[in-house]
């Protein structure tokens, strides 16, 4: 058996284990003491910074797509994996990006050293943590909702491996995956500013990029450069929306299941895109040399994970990987064992901070709902308005509001507002779009026949809201609220603590506490405790409020019978 050629997966995993072992036993505690110089803010460098950020985002996106497909598929087809993956993804997506800072520094910068490679990988890892989870859920949901008949047919024809992936799995996931990728992309940019300046206590890393450029110019009060940065950022987002996301989503809508209620409608983007795709030699090469082998290797990785565990060699490797993983985490934490033994100042502040942040979040949620619901009604009820207004709203939504945070804070405070109000408004920016787009989708999905019978029966005003609109949009309101609150928890870290004109503006709250712990004190214990408290709180609220609401949506308010 050992005479057979080693397959690349084995080699890859072997290298990973060896690499981890080297890192584990290499004694290099002083690698991360470098303070990088400030960025050069001159306009000539701006294109380079933009390119660097875009490249980082693209690498993070591609990695997340691959991992999302593999992990989402595993969760969808294997019940045991799903019991691990889904709760883990649920927990990890509620960990704010700052919570991954210690991991990024301990892991990547220790392995690769504090050179460009290590710091870049750390930044990409941080972007992945704000992009990935949404994609895993998209893949999982699309695969588990493949219509029964289709699943039966593909089983009956014995579709497996590469063919199963290209004929069933990818077509089934592409629509939701394309849409969620667009959301993830926007989300990644939202947290990019945080990812490009990695600070844990005395450890400072500043990557050249649009995010750090904006942060530095705003913090210096250098608004000329800040506005130039915002312009370039807007340009990048609009370009990606026009040339990547909008055609991709138009293309992906070809793969929707046709139902009697919503016959597939011909669109414009689709045929144009197909024309360009068919003529592109590059795309053919990319497909043949890149995507096809990629899918094949994903399939063999999956086969190895899902079936290899049953063989001796497979389970030995799996245990080795797991052991290495656990050891590396233990090693990362061990650096702060001395800290863990003494009580941390500010620890007793955590419960109050959590409550204050939660109240801020609720206020932001109400604020978001107040403006999105009427707008969603206006856009969703009229197909013609939706066609023209929706693309514009999508572009606006993709521009990361975090770039404006210092400006918003200074504006509010100079008008006599306080940081509390400012924090609420900033958190709203991390919630509003989830609500808006879910509500629009919900309103557009109200079946035509229910609309007609309501008109025919003369439903109007409050009765119409009570009997038709609210129940019909209830499932999307729940989904939208759930994601909005999740986004809000992530955003609160950036909203309660803002650096503007060389001054820190902050309010008491769990986000600010975590910011303080990470950026200023570098106290790992405080970081771990505030994140744990926050994640526990989020999970408890999810179980007590959103889970029942979601189940009610499925049971009573689903639009099928």
Partner 1 sequence: MATETPQPLLALREISKSFPNGIHILGPISIIVEEGEFVVIIGPSGAGKSTMLRTITGLTDLTSGEILYKGKRIWGVNHKTALVFQSFALFPWLTVMENVALGLEAQGIEKAARQKRARRYIDMVGLDGYERAYPRELSGGMKQRVGLARALTVEPELLCMDEPFSGLDALTASNLREQLLDIWLSKQIVTKAIVLVTHSVEEAVLMGDRVLLMASKPGRIVADRPVTLPRPRKPKSPQFEEQVDQLYSLIV
For 541-544, the CB contacts below 8 A with 24+ separation are 541/358, 541/485, 542/90, 542/482
Dihedral (CA of 15, 17, 20, 22) sign: negative
Q: What is the DSSP letter of 468?
A: I
Q: How far is the CB of 445 from partner 1 (least distance, A)?
A: 13
Quote the least distance from Cβ 179 to partner 1, whole Å.
25
Least distance in angstroms from the C-beta of 35 to partner 1:
60
Residue 22 vs 457, nearer CB to partner 1: 457
Q: Which is nearer to partner 1, 158 or 458 (CB)?
A: 458
**Which residue's CB is nearer to partner 1, number 326 or number 453?**
453
d(C-alpha 71, C-alpha 137), whole Å: 9
Distance CA 123, CA 497 (A): 21
Cα dihedral 60, 63, 67, 72, rounded to 10, equals 60
Report the distance separating Cα 422 and Cα 506, nearest Å.
Answer: 10
Place of tokens 């003529």: 279
Q: Measure the CA–CA gap between 499 and 502, rounded to whole angstroms.
A: 6
Residue nearer to partner 1 on the CB measure, 25 or 561: 561
Closer residue to partner 1 (CB): 224 or 447: 447
Helix intervals (H) in 191-311: 192-196, 210-219, 223-240, 246-252, 268-279, 281-285, 292-308
> Residue 381 CB, nearest distance to partner 1 (Å)?
16
- If the CB atoms of residues 384 and 414 are measured against partner 1, the closer one turns out to be 384
Shortest Å distance, C-beta 466 to partner 1: 9
Per DSSP bridges, beta strands 503-506 and 203-206 are: unpaired
Closer residue to partner 1 in complex, CB, 42/560 = 560
CB 439 to partner 1: min, Å: 17
Q: How far is the CB of 479 from partner 1 (least distance, A)?
A: 16
d(CA 131, CA 107) in angstroms, rounded, equals 19
Closest to 439 measured CA to CA, from 471, 476, 389:
476
- Cα angle vertex 517, ends 514, 519, to 5°? 100
**Cα separation, 372 vs 435, whole angstroms:** 7
Q: Which is nearer to partner 1, 83 or 271 (CB)?
A: 271
Residues at the interface with partner 1 (CB under 8 A): 260-261, 447, 449-450, 452-453, 455-460, 463-464, 467-468, 471, 474, 556-561
Nearer to partner 1, 231 or 453 (CB): 453
Report in angstroms how near the CB of residue 145 gets to partner 1 at its nearest: 18
Tokens, residue 310: 């049953």
Where do we find the tokens 């939701």? 176
The nearest distance, CB 450 to partner 1, in angstroms, is 6
């Amino acid at each position: 058996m050992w005479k057979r050629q080693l397959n690349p997966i084995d080699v890859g995993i072997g290298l990973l284990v060896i690499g981890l072992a080297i890192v584990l036993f290499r004694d290099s505690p002083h690698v991360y003491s470098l303070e990088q110089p400030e960025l050069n803010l001159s306009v000539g460098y701006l294109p380079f910074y933009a390119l660097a950020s875009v490249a980082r985002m693209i690498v993070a996106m591609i990695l997340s797509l691959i991992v999302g497909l593999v992990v989402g598929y595993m969760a969808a087809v294997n019940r045991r994996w799903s019991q691990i993956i889904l709760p883990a993804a649920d927990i990890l997506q509620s960990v704010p990006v700052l919570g991954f800072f210690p991991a990024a520094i301990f892991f990547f910068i220790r392995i690769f050293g504090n050179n460009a490679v290590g710091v870049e990988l750390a930044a990409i890892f941080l972007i992945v943590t704000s992009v990935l989870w949404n994609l895993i859920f998209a893949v999982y949901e699309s695969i588990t909702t493949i219509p029964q008949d289709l699943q039966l047919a593909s089983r009956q024809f014995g579709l497996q491996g590469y063919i199963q992936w290209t004929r069933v799995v990818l077509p089934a996931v592409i629509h939701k995956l394309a849409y969620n990728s667009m959301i993830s992309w926007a989300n990644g940019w939202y947290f990019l500013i945080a990812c490009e300046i990695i600070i844990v206590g005395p450890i400072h890393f500043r990557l050249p990029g649009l995010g750090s450029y904006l942060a530095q110019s705003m913090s210096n009060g250098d608004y000329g450069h800040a506005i130039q940065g915002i312009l370039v950022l807007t340009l990048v987002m609009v370009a990606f929306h026009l040339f990547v996301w909008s055609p991709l989503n138009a293309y992906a809508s070809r793969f929707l299941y046709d139902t009697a209620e919503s016959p597939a409608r011909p669109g414009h983007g689709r045929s144009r895109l197909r024309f360009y795709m068919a003529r592109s030699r590059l795309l053919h090469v990319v497909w043949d040399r890149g995507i096809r082998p990629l899918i094949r290797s994903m399939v063999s990785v999956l086969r190895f994970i899902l079936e290899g565990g049953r063989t001796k060699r497979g389970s030995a490797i799996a245990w080795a990987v797991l052991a290495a993983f656990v050891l590396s985490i233990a090693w990362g934490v061990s650096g702060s064992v001395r800290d863990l033994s003494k009580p941390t100042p500010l620890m007793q502040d955590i419960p109050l901070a959590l409550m204050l942040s939660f109240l801020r979040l609720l206020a932001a949620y109400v604020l978001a709902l107040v403006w999105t619901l009427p707008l969603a009604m206006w856009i969703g009820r009229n197909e013609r308005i939706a066609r023209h207004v929706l693309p514009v709203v999508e572009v606006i939504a993709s521009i990361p509001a975090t770039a404006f945070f210092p400006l918003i804070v200074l504006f509010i405070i100079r008008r006599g507002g306080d940081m509390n109000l400012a924090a609420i408004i900033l958190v709203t920016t991390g919630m509003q779009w989830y609500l808006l787009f879910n509500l629009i989708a919900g309103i557009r999905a109200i079946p035509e026949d229910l609309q007609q019978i309501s008109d025919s029966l003369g439903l109007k005003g409050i009765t119409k809201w009570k009997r038709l609109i609210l129940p019909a949009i209830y499932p999307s309101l729940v989904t939208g609220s759930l994601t909005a609150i999740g986004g809000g928890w992530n955003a609160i870290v950036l909203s309660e603590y803002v650096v503007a004109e060389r001054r820190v503006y902050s309010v008491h709250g769990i986000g600010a506490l975590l910011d303080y712990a990470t950026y200023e004190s570098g106290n790992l214990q405080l970081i771990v405790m505030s994140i744990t408290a926050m994640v526990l709180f989020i999970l408890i609220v999810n179980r007590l409020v959103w889970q029942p609401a979601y189940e009610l949506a499925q049971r009573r308010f689903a639009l099928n019978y």
